[in-house]
Structure 1
Amino acid sequence: MLVALVAVVALVAVVAAAALPALPALRHRLARPVLCRAAGRCRRRLELRGTEVRLSQERRLRRLLPAGTARGSEVFRERHPLGQSCPTGAPGGQVPPLHPWALLRSCWGTDPPLQVWGGGGSTAPHTGRAAPPPGAAPPDPRLSPRALAPWRTALLSWVPGHPRAPAGWPLPTLYCTPVEAGTLPSRAAALRVQLLLALQERALHVLEAGLASELHDALAALHAGWPELAQDLALGRLSPQPGLPEAVRGRLQALLVPSAARAAELRAECARGPEGIVQRLWPQLEVVVVGTAHGAEQLYCDALRRADCKGLPLYCPFYRAAGALLGVNLWPEEPAPRFLLCPDWAFYEFLPCPAKEEPQTVLLDELWEGREYGLVLTAQPGEYRCRAGEVLRVAGFHKQCPVVEPVRRESQALSVRGESIPEDRFCQSLCRAVGMWPGARLVDYVCVESALLGTSSGAGAPHYEVFVELRGLRDLSEGQRYKLDQCLQEDFPIYKSFRFKGSIGPLRLHLVGAGAFARLREALGTPLPMPRVLREEKLLQLIQSTVIS
């Protein structure tokens, strides 16, 4: 009874503070302990549910089905055939904004819509200890007080046309980057404005990005344009640029304060080179948080760890698929993100890989460690047994809950003759080939099946075309270009067989200029993980226009 009374008092305090826009600092101060207590409550709930996975899943399924429907997972699977791909969900697959009412309901109710471990700077964990193996007890989820300090989190994220607060808005002064900066029509303009506002605040504790590629591109813009950024900092101005409306520029410029000292520091640190630049520019930074850091985004994470973010933990708190929140990363120190699938958040089914002719799904408590599975979701009422298009590998278990690693997206496989080269394995072959080119380092890549090129592909057999951005090489010899085709033949016997028969033609490799992929991501129009196989002619034409060799 006392706990319920305390919760009611806390709720009244948060709502009362929300009604006082003139006192945002008070609202921040009142909401922060509520968030921290809610995180602890949700963690304890997850620990409990981890010992009764089948019961939790059956309970979740009952809540997703209409009243009066026959209950039980066996009956459900008999009556509902496997569906097609899942709906896309929220724009960019991002977590919806977190409101105090939803937060407190997640602590009391039996059906929490959103748990509070992540979603922004409000999630940064303590990072001063090593991560345990998946079977061990995960680290304490209590939040670092410094990570929740006002104005000490910067957000680099582009969500065009969707003006909504990030997931941590119960702490209204958490972010030093305003929401309006992320909704500009131009991705490049949005990231530059957010970067400039973040550079103004030297005492950042958390640097957050919606995607690893957004952080990667923002830092690339820093390396390319730091003299202009330093000048803007010194003058306290926001320079005009394409995609930044004049009225919006005036409002955002009012947030800048001239600082010659900070501008001088920026010039000095950028002149030293990119290695460790993030830690040098923000000496009090504790963690870099990214909304998506696996699959296609892993390439950017690896590059960030090697250079710009060297020495800092790169933490991806959530696993999301098809617009649904599915898992939480309880091991922030590990470089490859792994996620504990939460039995209360969706009803999960899995298709063993490789797929069989008559696929039969297995449930959350029937998985085997080390095996790969295609994900099938029932996450919303009326959307039953949808194929998420994601392949997961079971890395271990915490109690009865599986700990998974996202491996690849089924839609990103290459196939011109039914050979199906998966996204992750193609990347491995490409990296192996690049390793044979002295001085070269892979920055980015994308693939195209020759059918998309139409008559421009020539009269030869169907083939792959690959566009790469490299550092350390300005041109590729014919011998170097052939190395990738040779690696694919060595790694994929079926591809080699088709190449030997002549039914698949030789791979064609193209080198593109710096910044080509940043422009490609802007042309996508939505903040989604980087596609590795292009399916649209306009995107193909854009990347073709950037070829330099």
Structure 2
Amino acid sequence: MLPAAAALAVCVAAAVAVVVCVAVAVAVGAGAALPAAPPLRHRLARAVLHRAARWQRRRLELRGTEVRSSQERRLRRLLPAGAAPGSDAFRESHPLTLSSPDGDPGEQEAPVPLLGPWALLRSCWAADPPLQGALLYLDVLRTAFPQALALRGTALFCWAPGGPRAPAGWPLPTLYCTPAEAGAVPSRAAALRLQLLFALRERGLRVLEAGLASELCDALAALRAGWPGLAEDLALGRLSPQLELPEGTRRQLQGLLAPDAARAAELRAECARGFEGIVQRLWPQLQVVVVGTAHGGEQLYSDALQQEDCKGLPFYSPFYRAGGALLGVNLWPEEPSARFLLCPDWAFCEFLPCPAEEETATALLGELWEGREYALVLTAWPGEYRCHVGEVLQVAGFHKQCPVVEPVRRESQTLSVRGESIPEERFLRSLRRAVGMWPGARLVDYVCVESALLGASSGACAPHYQVFVELRGLRDLSEGQRYKLDHCLQEDFPTYKSFRFKGSIGPLRLHLVAAGAFARLREAVGCPRPMPRVLRERRLLSAIQSAVVS
């Protein structure tokens, strides 16, 4: 641990120097276009933030050796004055509660904080997870990818219709070449196309950052479908007149553009060669793709990106969020699968063993076993105690005394019409196996519906699943091919097979949808969150039904 005087000196130096970049941070927080920042100012801010980040890393290492006391301190901050002290009394006096099964609020990004000169100073002794997490991210990124923090070297893909959202490196706003207004327009498709246009202007990008893997996937799909128009916009230095934008936003963004015929010609040449590895060819200095969420419902998009458009580039998912709170950080960006260190002073966490045991007592953060799966119970906000958030984690190891976890599944996305319980990651495995039996077919996207949501329109048959898929390379399926998915589920899930044999679950119905249907579905969801794989809302069901072609 640093001596108190040294720690104070580091923090004061950070707070004083960060005044240099406060004006830029406030502009970003207010949604203003990012002005061109002098390199000296960027380097100074980066050096200051690096020192603050190193302090946070040392703090994290210290907290990792005293997990129980760190959790108890965090719990005291969350309880009202006069509450009985200690986690044992807390668990006895508050029953477990359930969060909403239909959403994943923990995956939504918080609004961009305003970075004032005292923020870093305060973070040296106060637990401020969003700032601590951002500082740790900047430190990890700088260490693993030395050129990643270049001035305007990061392009951001994130739709935030309610206002600007915090990118991973928000304390260093000069990192980004993407204007805040580009992500805040009402249309998701327009926002991603605008962000793509500003990214294409910067040939020297080092990082592509997306709030969700699906956002980057849809932005690159827009590149595939509309690269001639994007090249024309680059050459003319204009915003496409076909984009429906608020007039004030259009004027602000148009003022940031200038004609670039050379870059337009390069875009045309690279897209004409095909799209495998297109990201690395368009931005040859790119070092890493940062994705806020790439697991759960987003894993399909992350896999597709790595296999084609972003082939050859490492992917890094820096944060783990659940129940509306930041809970963990990924300190190992070069590992192939994302693992998150649960930080003991960011929230009070409890864990229920999976599968459920007769003993329902929860385990605490320092009482977990490596290799086991646990359902997460979270206390992150005053007044919201012991929420069963529907996330299942596996303990992959430990860093000091802190568990390192991998997200396994979202319980709200489990299919079950008779109690048979088919988790989303295992359903996807069966679906991929069925698609492999359809010659020439490649799975692009899918969603499931339990027949109860369809009401009378599902017919008089037994409860069943309906599955909507988007495929590439195949326009139609025979009835025999459609049955392959039901057959794979029966092979993979004996309980499902038993119910199918008895007739208490009816045959699965498979529908093909038009290209682009899922991008429109994500816009219909209305807020940036991981793709739901089991639809629970009729309006979303109607949106996907309207795109059925077979």
TM-score by length of 2: 0.92
Equivalent-residue separation in structure 1 for 2:372 and 2:350 (angstroms): 14
Matched length: 534
What residue number does 1:151 align with?
152
**Is this contact kept in 2: 1:100–1:170, CA < 8 A?**
no
Measured against aligned partners, the alpha-carbon deviations of 1:436-466 in whole angstroms (never above 9, x if no partner) come to: 2222221110000111111211111111000
Q: SS of the residue aligned with 2:242?
A: coil
Note if contact 1:154-1:198 (Cα within 8 Å) is conserved in structure 2.
yes
User: Alpha carbons of 1:10 and 1:397: their partners in 2 closer, same or farther (altered >3 Å)?
Assistant: closer
Gap runs ≥5 in structure 1: 127-141
Task: Specify the alignment match of 1:261 in structure 2.
Answer: 262
CA distance 1:535–1:491, change in 2 (3 Å): same
Matches within 5 A, 1:529-540: 529-540=530-541
- CA offsets per residue over residues 252-299 of structure 1, 9 Å max, x none? 122111111101100111111111111100011111111101111111
1:522 partner letter: E
Match of 1:15 in 2: 19
Q: Counterparts in 2 of 1:308-387, with a 5 A limit?
A: 308-356=309-357, 359-387=360-388
Secondary structure of 1:476's match? coil
Does the 8 Å contact 1:122/1:143 carry over to 2? no
Residue aligning to 1:400: 401
C-alpha distance in structure 1 between counterparts of 2:36 and 2:197, whole Å? 26
Cα separation, 1, equivalents of 2:300 and 2:236: 36
- Which residue is equivalent to 1:523? 524
AA matched with 1:97? V
State the match for 1:137 in structure 2: none
Distance in 2 of aligned mates of 1:531 and 1:101 = 40
1:351 is paired with a residue whose SS is strand
Which of 8, 21, 24 is the equivalent residue of 1:4? Answer: 8
Match of 1:58 in 2: 72
Deviation at 1:102, TM superposition (A): 6.6
Equivalence for 1:97: 112
Which residue of structure 1 lines up, in the alignment, with residue 179 of structure 2? 178
Code of the residue aligned with 1:112 in structure 2: it is D
User: For the structure 1 residues 162 and 123, does the alpha-carbon distance in structure 2 shift closer, same or farther, using more than 3 Å as the test?
Assistant: farther
Q: How does 1:35-184 map to 2 (within 5 A)?
A: 35-85=49-99, 93-98=108-113, 99-101=115-117, 103-105=119-121, 107-116=123-132, 118=134, 122=138, 125=141, 142=143, 144=145, 146-163=147-164, 166-184=167-185
2:46 counterpart letter in structure 1: R
1:504 correspondence with 2:480: no
Q: Structure 1, residues 225-259: CA drift from partner, whole Å, max 9, x if none?
A: 00000010011111123542233222212211111
Measured in 2, the distance between the counterparts of 1:59 and 1:91 equals 23
1:414 aligned partner: 415
Residue 291 of structure 1 aligns to a residue whose secondary structure is strand
Deviation at 1:309, TM superposition (A): 0.6
Please report how far the alpha carbon of residue 538 of structure 1 lies from its aligned counterpart in structure 2 after TM superposition: 1.5
**Stretch deviating more after TM superposition (103-112 or 15-24):** 15-24
Q: Which runs of 5 or more residues in structure 2 are unaligned?
A: 28-34
1:143 shift after superposition: 6.9
Deviations 1:363-392 (A, max 9, x none): 111112221111000111211101111111
Measured after TM superposition, the shift of residue 172 of structure 1 is 3.3
Offset, 1:424? 1.3
State whether residues 120 and 168 of structure 1, in contact with CA within 8 Å, keep that contact through their aligned partners in structure 2: no
Per the TM alignment, residue 121 of structure 1 is displaced from its structure 2 partner at its CA by 8.6
Instruction: Indicate the larger mover: 461-470 or 390-399.
Output: 390-399
Contact persistence 1:444–1:468 (CA under 8 A): yes
SS in 2 for 1:480: helix
**Aligned partners of 1:374 and 1:309: how far apart in 2?**
33
Contact persistence 1:86–1:386 (CA under 8 A): no
Cα root mean square deviation, aligned: 2.3
Mean CA deviation greater in 183-192 or 467-476: 467-476
Task: Quote the sequence identity (%).
Answer: 73
User: Could you tell me how far apart the structure 1 residues matched to 2:283 and 2:164 are?
Assistant: 28
Query: How far is 1:122 from its partner?
Result: 4.2
- Once the two structures are TM-superposed, the CA of residue 107 in structure 1 deviates from its matched residue by 4.4
- Kindly indicate whether the alpha-carbon contact (under 8 Å) linking 1:106 and 1:114 is maintained by their aligned counterparts in 2: no
For 2:509 and 2:444, locate their aligned partners in 1 and report how far apart those are by CA, in whole Å: 18
* Contact kept in structure 2, 1:85 and 1:386, CA below 8 Å: yes
Q: Which residue pairs with 2:434 in the alignment? A: 433
